[in-house]
Structure 1
Amino acid sequence: MTESDEKWTLTIVIPAYNEEDAIGSTISRCLDAREMIKREGGVDEVEIIVVSDGSSDRTVEIAKTFSDIGVIVFEHNRGYGAALKEGFAQGKGNLVSFLDADGTCDPRVFAQLCRAVIDQGGDIVLGSRLGPDTKMPAIRKLGNRIFAALLGFLCGQWVTDTGSGMRVMRRSSLERLYPLPDGLHFTPSMSTRALMNGLNVIEVPMPYEERIGTSKLSVIHDGLRFLRVIVEGVLCYRPERLFLFGFTFCAIVSLLLAAYPIEYYVKTWRVEDGMIYRVLIGFLFASVGFLQLCGAALANRMSALRPLRREDQTFWASTVSLMFEGKALAALIGLALVIALWLLGPGLFEYLTTGKVSPTNLHWSRLLVGIFAILSAFQALITGVLLRVLAIWRVQEELRGRRAHPEVDRRRSDDS
């Protein structure tokens, strides 16, 4: 059976925590939109489930007045994400979705989201709240754009709204997204894991209204939590990107700091003593930057040892790893040591022969750059050794896997 012939059932989960002012109208709008979702979204059946997350007001009472929906009741507040996961688990749809209970989202948009899944092969389709029809408060709009830009830079894929509270996904995609958190940071965590794990993420612009009742989001507290979720997601799937981001930042700062002393040295063949502070700070950034470059190479190889590893590598990740292997590593260490010897050699020779060092043979600038070269050589050497250890570990892991599943090797031999 082809995908076009498949029967599609959409499960809509509505998480609700003390939403007595909005839950009735949200459910009514979902019920009214069912026929449109079926007709325009290509869906055969629509299932609606309300999950009361420990509500202490009339949310449950109001939800139970509707006979055509399912109602799940948590006795105690377990969190936004926990409510959604329970709704997904009890729903029967091969398409699972959710929208917030606060009246901000239009359920009719589900038709477009479902159509994007079915026609465009989307694994997750987000309703973007940042389109021209949005009524989102300015501070939240700014925060969402910042998080989207950060996630896009780190992932290499761009979405405009990482925290959208309205989306549709294939049930089969959930196993590639779990585990997901129980709290309000469920949505940015899902977006991060989806982008990092290679799922096909599609966005559809949608209108967004001001919420009914008081928002449960804290701009600062939840903003920091969303940031942590994004960073943790990157560390889980693409840790090298975070280190490469840090390296790029440090490299730019160190080059800006070094530009004037280098220009002055080229013109006068000397460095003024007053530049020492600029050079020291530049040396610090350069050292931290090179250390993060080493970290990127190690993180890239370490991620290959994960049970759910991704085999595809970006150009920069592969290039950085190759810098610390074989002839490239030997050339890097050799170049660093030659530079160190050139800068420190005259002063060292003078000290060994006379017992003292003159500023002419070992100026502080030569000493700093020489030390940086030696430090970089040792960091590169240690990184290369650790990469070799990781390579040995991976070979051992593959051998253990072959011993545990010899039938896989036999099938590969037969195919070849």
Structure 2
Amino acid sequence: MTTLSIVIPAYNEEGAIRAVLDRVRAIGPALREAGFAEWEVIVVDDGSQDRTAEIVAAYPEVRLIRHPVNRGYGAALKTGFAHARGEWLAFLDADATYPPEALPELYRIACADGADLVVGSRMGRADSEMPLVRRIGNWGFAFLLRVLGGAPVSDSASGMRLLRREVLERLYPLPDGLNFTPAMSARAIYENVRMVEIPIPYRERLGQSKLHPLRDGVRFLHAIVWTVMTYNPARVFGMTGFGLALLGLALGASAVLWPGPGGWPFPRLFAAVVLVALGLHLFAVGTLFNYIVSLFHKRPIRHGLFGRPLFRRPLEHRFLPIGALSIAIGLGLYGWAVLARLTAPPFPAPWFVPAVSALMVVMGTDLFTAGILVRALAELSQRELRIQQDLEARPAMMPSAELIPQSRPLS
């Protein structure tokens, strides 16, 4: 028998909770027709100071769980999940914005597509009553998750979802606040949870909204970026570094093509070199971070700056020769500048070549050190595999520094 647990977090919702419960109670026949043999409704009162709990208590078929103090939206959902009995879990808000009538369709989609998590998207219908500010914010967060997660997402913060109980272990830990849902979406992508979205109607809430656009927007941003950082930091560091390097190249090109009336714009050229060096440094940091994350997870995870290899051999495996070349060029550049008397007047910018050469030496040292660490981490990542090979007297399948088990190339 398939059982559904519907969890409704509520905080000071006396004006809407009765209508929501009446609508949930009315979908019983549709749930049975969709394939549920049993279902339960759990309302978690998150420290309400109004009559929310009193109204819910008047519904004998509804399980009421009360927090003595307000702990947050995510905390209320986790409490409901912990007390739920169903193999399937669903949740929706208590403010009458989400349609409980869509739950049977969410389950049919889950069964048809073999999905672990079905999200009701508020962004897929023209009749959505979402306020413009929140619509723009939701579009921005969904776009960020598509860029950083590499998966199509239209509504990263939807508060109406259906999921298999068994995937909770892969989705946890999740935050206690309103950023519970964007963090869930980000983790679902990297935990290879099969997630699908279907458009649902969305209505303006009854009563005052608990969402603060600026404060909660910052929390949503933090939840998405930090979750991605714990799975694929090269995506965050690498894209930032790639952007800085492109900006540096553009700045350098503008200095060469349009130097201005005063001759060579050395400050602009130096800024371009600094930006390129910063970009390479961030890429190297992200690469090392990815290797560490791979060691922690010990299983296949999504890797890479753009989601697929750009080179036949991953770029981080070339850090040692690239770093050595950068050091050599920096030292050679400085020696040439001294011989050509470019480090003292009357050269218009005697500081420029020494500064650039020093930066290249530092950048080369950074890459050379990163290359050594990459090799060491690759050795550690294959330690268990090589121990097993030695115990079984089997030949090694690959050079130790070439691959991380169960990971994809980073670049």
The TM-score bracket by the shorter chain reads 0.7 to 0.9
In the alignment, what sits opposite 1:35?
Answer: 29
Equivalent pair of 1:125/1:168 in contact (CA under 8 Å): yes
Equivalent pair of 2:246/2:276 in contact (CA under 8 Å): no
Q: Structure 1 residues 8 and 331, CA, compared in 2 at 3 Å: closer, same or farther? A: same
Distance 1:369 1:16 in 2: 60
Q: Structure 1 residues 183 and 113, CA, compared in 2 at 3 Å: closer, same or farther? A: same
Q: TM-score scaled by structure 1? A: 0.85
In the alignment, what sits opposite 1:394?
Answer: 381
Equivalent pair of 1:30/1:107 in contact (CA under 8 Å): yes
Equivalent pair of 1:264/1:271 in contact (CA under 8 Å): no
Residue identity matched to 2:253: A
In the alignment, what sits opposite 2:265?
Answer: 275
In the alignment, what sits opposite 2:284?
Answer: 294
In the alignment, what sits opposite 1:4?
Answer: none
Q: Which of residues 290, 313, 330 in structure 1 aligns to 2:303?
A: 313
TM-aligned CA deviation for residue 285 of structure 1: 1.5
Q: Structure 1 residues 309 and 235, CA, compared in 2 at 3 Å: closer, same or farther? A: farther
Distance 2:225 2:320 in 1: 33
1:285-340 alpha-carbon deviations (Å, 9 max, x no partner): 21211111111210111111114643453475766893233xx3343134324533
Q: CA RMSD in A?
A: 2.9
Secondary structure in 1 matching 2:89: strand
TM-aligned CA deviation for residue 83 of structure 1: 1.1
TM-aligned CA deviation for residue 111 of structure 1: 1.4
Moved more, 366-375 or 184-193: 366-375
Q: Which of residues 374, 380, 397 in structure 1 aligns to 2:367?
A: 380
Secondary structure in 1 matching 2:4: strand
TM-aligned CA deviation for residue 97 of structure 1: 0.8
Structure 2 unaligned spans of 5+: 395-411
Q: Which of residues 68, 87, 99 in structure 2 aligns to 1:75?
A: 68
Equivalent pair of 2:122/2:199 in contact (CA under 8 Å): yes
Identity of aligned residues (%): 36
Aligned residues: 391
Distance 1:260 1:356 in 2: 24
Q: TM-score scaled by structure 2? A: 0.86
In the alignment, what sits opposite 2:404?
Answer: none
Residue identity matched to 1:21: G
TM-aligned CA deviation for residue 249 of structure 1: 1.4
In the alignment, what sits opposite 1:129?
Answer: 122
Distance 2:24 2:144 in 1: 33
The yes-or-no answer on 1:322 pairing with 2:299 is no
Query: Which structure dedicates a bigger proportion of its chain to helix?
Result: 1
In the alignment, what sits opposite 1:168?
Answer: 162
TM-aligned CA deviation for residue 341 of structure 1: 4.9
Moved more, 193-202 or 364-373: 364-373
In the alignment, what sits opposite 1:44?
Answer: 37
Distance 1:68 1:96 in 2: 17
Moved more, 65-74 or 330-339: 330-339
Q: Which of residues 190, 201, 209 in structure 1 aligns to 2:203?
A: 209
Equivalent pair of 1:51/1:73 in contact (CA under 8 Å): yes
